[in-house]
């Protein structure tokens, strides 16, 4: 009896443990948790207004909408809402294009959909024929899907849904994730596990994770995904892999998500048995034309190619003495009859280093303005070097009015702490998008270049290098999800603020409690500036670890190319620090238009956040604070660490409002972040002190280790290389 009782108690404990594990918050649901509303008054209000659903049609997209509504309403409202095709009654949610809606509704809605395009939507709630109804309408079923997700976002964030009149359409046409995923499932510069794409099991097995990936992207308006690394493998263009790609395209299609592939420029040689990949050799364009025909025979809505050429060892038109335009146009001509596009990366710099690397993309592409085909987007990184913690906007923005330029942001945090650090990237994205190029006078922002309004381009695009992997929570760090989310929301509407986006994400991902949302929003909004301060303050850049880019290494020198070293960029000596890009130096500042040149080129007017990017500055130069440059550098490095300590305090204060699993995850990662912030601070200040010969102010605690100690650190097996 005693043994049986103990066994019984053990089983109860075991199943309780298993049950708690199964229900634990692991982050898989992202911002689509659809948690039950606890506010009884709000719940009652929602239920009164949402008593039945009427959605004409049964297409794959309509089926997706119905499935999403079932899942969402069961979670949010705690009960199913029936679907009905009967006459509209009080409390009906009516979803359809004007042509599919009942006549007495559609006549009033046609005007609302005239100017919202193929992906926009209109949401209305109020009395129609003396009945309280909510209507989501659009010109296409994909627009209905986006409108449905907007409506669900209102419910998830506890917004009123009476008297709605919301019209929304994307400001940018192609809103695309770039996966730097390799066919062996490793991910270059990825910090959240392996690639989602299990090529070995495709096309036979469609993982549920592919569907949930598409759902998440549709919920924030992302409409394209480049499946493969820009350092391309030509095998992905072979028949076997095209069948695998087709399987993914078929799974994604109902969610409005097109697939794209990276095209290796030398593919005609590597998989086509040609002797050349010269774009002007007639056999080469013909090979690409046939390859494109083959792709579209499997994937009729294939989006097109992303190309990295003539950069970091990748083959390109330079191998044959041809221009970037000639290379891009060859592929564009093959894709044009099918409606496909070419996204041709401007990340091109010399194998040698004849000039400041910050100037080379501009020098390469500016003379080619207007020489690209109509279906080519030149994809330009946000800054001229390489996704640094902070860079001034790329000088190509505003310099190529005859060519559509596509923004490329990095969502994965290659240079911003990688997978261990909480750094909310929306402020970085906004800083770049809101920068003024002065291309057509005051107000000619980078955002207006990208969305086409500055130069009246219809072909527009924005890309984000994905931070998604096989980690259960998708992005490694739970707060990495916010950067995926923020990219999508800004791609749809770049006028949203970082604070608005953070609050939306927090409410849907954690809780609507204001005493959680407000402090954690502040934490997120300050996190990018904190990281810049403890890594690369005042315009410093490219001083990270060699190859893996993890941690500080401002001492890197004597490598096979100068512009892959740190000393090339910070130029520290006994007189000062910083890269002179004015007339007395590389004159990279001349690539900007005169108002920007004058601002950045004058040490007195240059914003301090870019000071060492453009100027070599004396250690004793007086800063705005009244501190010398050296003391200001010390202040920034120490304040960066202090900011992380404040982040820890803020997070500790919301323990009771957070599930224990995610709380512990973020808490432990903040401990790592503080340790790494101190590592950056100590290593950089000790190294730069060897040039400045000035003491760290007495009020700051001194590093416990020596410079030699930090220089000896050699992290092993860093992910994402």
Q: Supply the residues annotated as catalytic.
A: 312, 386, 414
> What is the token pair recorded at 508?
């849907």
> What is the token pair recorded at 256?
């409005």
Alpha-helical segments (H) within 308-425: 324-335, 357-365
CA dihedral (203, 208, 211, 217) positive or negative: negative
Q: How far apart are alpha carbons 638 and 422 in whole angstroms?
A: 18
* CB neighbours of residue 198 within 10 Å: 16
> What is the token pair recorded at 673?
């972040």
> What is the token pair recorded at 537?
């303050």
CA angle 67, 69, 73 (to 5 degrees): 130
Contact 317, 323 (CB under 8 A): yes
Question: Coil, strand, or helix at residue 344?
Answer: strand
Q: How far apart are alpha carbons 110 and 693 in whole angstroms?
A: 72
Cβ neighbours of residue 66 closer than 8 Å, sequence gap 6 or more: 53, 55, 83
Closest CA to 463 of 399, 533, 391, 411: 411
54: enclosing H helix or E strand: strand 52-54
> What is the token pair recorded at 23?
């229900």
Cβ neighbours of residue 316 closer than 8 Å, sequence gap 6 or more: 265, 309, 310, 324, 327, 348
Closest CA to 34 of 265, 189, 162, 212: 212
* CB neighbours of residue 719 within 10 Å: 18
> What is the token pair recorded at 482?
């916010």
Q: Residue 381: beta bridge partners?
A: 408
Q: How far apart are alpha carbons 569 and 554 in whole angstroms?
A: 9
Give the rounded distance of the alpha carbon of 583 from its chain centre: 35
Give the rounded distance of the alpha carbon of 372 from its chain centre: 26
Cβ neighbours of residue 16 closer than 8 Å, sequence gap 6 or more: none
> What is the token pair recorded at 569?
């960029």
Gyration radius (Cα) of the chain, Å: 27
Taking CB atoms within 8 Å and a gap of at least 24, the contacts of 355-359 are 355/586, 356/579, 356/581, 356/585, 356/586, 356/588, 357/384, 357/385, 357/563, 358/384, 358/385, 358/581, 358/586, 358/588, 359/384, 359/586, 359/588, 359/591
Closest CA to 262 of 361, 191, 182, 318: 182
State the burial class of residue 182 (Cβ atoms within 10 Å of its Cβ: 0-12, 13-18, 19+).
buried
Residue the block writes with tokens 């809780």: 511
> What is the token pair recorded at 363?
């020098």
Ramachandran angles phi, psi of 463, nearest 5°:
-125, 145
Beta strands in 452-525 (DSSP E): 461-465
Closest CA to 564 of 282, 352, 317, 717: 352
What is the DSSP annotation of 530-586? HHHHHHSGGG----B-TTT--SB-TT----SSGGGSSHHHH---SSEES---STTTT
């Amino acid at each position: 009896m005693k043994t049986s009782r103990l066994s019984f108690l053990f089983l109860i404990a075991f199943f309780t443990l298993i049950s708690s594990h199964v229900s634990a918050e692991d982050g898989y649901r992202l911002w689509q948790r659809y948690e039950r509303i606890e506010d009884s008054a709000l719940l009652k209000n929602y239920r009164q207004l949402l008593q039945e659903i009427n959605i004409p049609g049964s297409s794959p997209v309509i089926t997706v909408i119905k499935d999403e509504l079932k899942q969402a309403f069961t979670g949010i409202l705690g009960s199913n809402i029936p679907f009905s095709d009967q006459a509209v009654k009080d409390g009906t949610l009516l979803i359809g294009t004007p042509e599919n809606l009942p006549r007495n509704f559609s006549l009033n809605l046609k005007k609302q959909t005239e100017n919202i395009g193929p992906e926009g939507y209109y949401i209305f709630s109020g009395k129609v024929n003396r009945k309280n109804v909510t209507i989501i309408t659009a010109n296409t079923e994909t627009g209905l899907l986006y409108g449905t997700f907007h409506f669900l976002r209102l419910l998830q964030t506890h917004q009123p849904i009476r008297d709605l009149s919301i019209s929304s359409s994307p400001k940018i046409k192609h809103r695309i994730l770039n996966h730097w995923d390799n066919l062996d499932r490793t991910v270059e510069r990825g910090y959240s596990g392996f690639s989602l794409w299990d090529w070995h099991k495709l096309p036979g097995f469609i993982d549920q994770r592919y569907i949930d990936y598409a759902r998440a992207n549709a919920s924030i308006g992302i409409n394209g995904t480049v499946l493969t690394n820009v350092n391309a493998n030509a095998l992905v263009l072979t028949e076997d892999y095209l069948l695998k790609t087709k399987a993914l395209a078929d799974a994604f299609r109902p969610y409005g998500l097109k697939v794209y592939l990276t095209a290796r420029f030398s593919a005609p040689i590597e998989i086509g048995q040609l002797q050349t990949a010269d774009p002007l050799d007639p056999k080469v364009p013909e090979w690409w034309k046939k390859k494109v025909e083959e792709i579209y025979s499997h994937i009729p809505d294939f989006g097109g190619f992303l190309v990295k050429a003539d950069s970091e060892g990748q083959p390109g038109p330079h191998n044959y003495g041809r221009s970037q335009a000639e290379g891009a146009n060859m592929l564009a001509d093959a894709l044009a009859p099918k409606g496909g596009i070419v996204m041709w990366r401007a990340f091109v710099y010399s194998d040698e280093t004849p000039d400041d690397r910050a100037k080379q993309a501009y020098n390469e592409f500016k003379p080619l303005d207007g020489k690209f085909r109509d279906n080519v987007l030149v994809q330009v990184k946000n800054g001229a070097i390489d996704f640094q913690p902070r860079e001034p906007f790329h000088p190509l923005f505003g310099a190529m009015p005859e060519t559509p330029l596509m923004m490329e942001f990095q969502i994965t945090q290659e240079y911003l702490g990688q997978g261990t650090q909480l750094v909310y990237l929306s402020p970085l994205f906004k800083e770049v998008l809101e920068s003024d190029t002065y291309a057509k006078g005051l107000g000619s922002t980078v955002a207006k270049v990208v969305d086409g309004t500055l130069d009246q381009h219809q072909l527009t695009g924005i890309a984000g290098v994905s931070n998604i992997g096989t980690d259960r929570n998708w992005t490694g760090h739970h707060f990495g999800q916010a950067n995926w989310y923020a990219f999508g929301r800004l791609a749809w509407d770049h006028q949203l603020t970082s604070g608005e986006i953070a609050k939306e994400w927090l409410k849907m991902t954690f809780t609507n409690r204001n005493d959680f949302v407000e402090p954690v929003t502040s934490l997120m909004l300050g996190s990018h500036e904190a990281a810049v301060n403890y890594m690369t303050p005042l315009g410093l850049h490219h001083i990270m670890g060699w190859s893996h880019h993890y941690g500080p290494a401002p001492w890197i020198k004597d490598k096979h190319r100068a512009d892959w070293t740190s000393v090339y960029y910070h130029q520290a000596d006994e007189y000062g620090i910083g890269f002179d890009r004015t007339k007395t130096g590389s004159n990279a500042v001349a690539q900007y238009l005169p108002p920007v040149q004058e601002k950045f080129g004058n040490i007195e007017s240059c914003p301090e956040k870019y000071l060492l990017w453009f100027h070599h500055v004396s250690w004793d130069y007086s800063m705005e604070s009244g501190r010398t440059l050296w003391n200001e550098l010390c202040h920034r490095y120490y304040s960066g660490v202090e900011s992380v300590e404040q982040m820890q305090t803020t997070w500790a204060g919301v323990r009771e409002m957070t599930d224990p699993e995610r709380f512990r995850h973020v808490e432990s990662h903040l401990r790592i972040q503080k340790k790494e912030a101190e590592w950056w601070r100590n290593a950089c200040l000790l190294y730069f002190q060897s040039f400045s010969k000035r003491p760290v102010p007495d009020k700051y605690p001194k590093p416990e280790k020596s410079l030699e100690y930090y220089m000896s650190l050699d992290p092993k097996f860093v992910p994402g290389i």
